[in-house]
Amino acid sequence: MKTLAPPLIIVAIVLASVACGHTASPLPTATPVPTSTPTPVPTATSSPTPVPTATAKPAPTSTALPAPTPARIQPRATRETGKAIDFEIETFGGETIKLSDFEGNVVVLNFWASWCPPCRWEMPFFERMSQEYEDQDVVFLGVAISDTLENVRAFAEGVGVTYPNGLDETGEIARDYSVVSLPTTFFIGKDGNVERRLSSAANEGVLKVFLRGQLRPRN
């Protein structure tokens, strides 16, 4: 009668035969899909992060030249008569003239400045009217104020102004005529009296209305 091997001996024999006769195939390794490396989340610390203080940045410096600041003009006391105050001025061409030189003519006296937009707008109209009325005893005269000679001369030349213009360097003429805004235009009659004052820009139509009134025969 055969004696059966104990179960443990049989198991050992089976395991030994498997190990000697068969080698297990390794499992294929999967190719990893490239992914972006996650940015680690910063770990909060017990100390609060101070809020950065905004530093004021200096304003950029402009390279553009500022327009001349208008001079403060103090109005003169009310005159007892309407007689235009005589003055002397040097024109852009270097000639010295007086208002009284044009007595016997209607004078259109215009106060202006190169930095004044309405003045720049109306100047071509004054030039055209000065040419249209030059044979009718009408004289146009421009007085620039609170400006530089270089700027006013350059603008007048650019427009092609031919009637006399000068710069009131001290502001005395403007004070005599109580000019407080620009443009301001005075219409002076042939007798030398101030007949009209216009404190706004004028086009050809406005100038013609005033001039016709001055040139109309009077009783």
pLDDT in tens, the chain (219 residues): 444 444 444 344 334 333 334 443 343 433 333 334 444 444 444 444 454 444 444 444 433 333 443 433 333 433 334 899 999 999 999 999 999 999 999 999 999 999 999 999 999 999 999 999 999 999 999 999 999 999 999 999 999 999 999 999 999 999 999 999 999 999 999 999 999 999 999 999 999 999 998 898 766
Residue 173 — φ and ψ, nearest 5°?
-65, -45
Residue 169 — φ and ψ, nearest 5°?
-70, -30
User: Residue 130: in which H helix or E strand, if any?
Assistant: helix 117-132
Residue 28 corresponds to which tokens in the numbers above? Answer: 């294929």
Residue 75 corresponds to which tokens in the numbers above? Answer: 């109005």
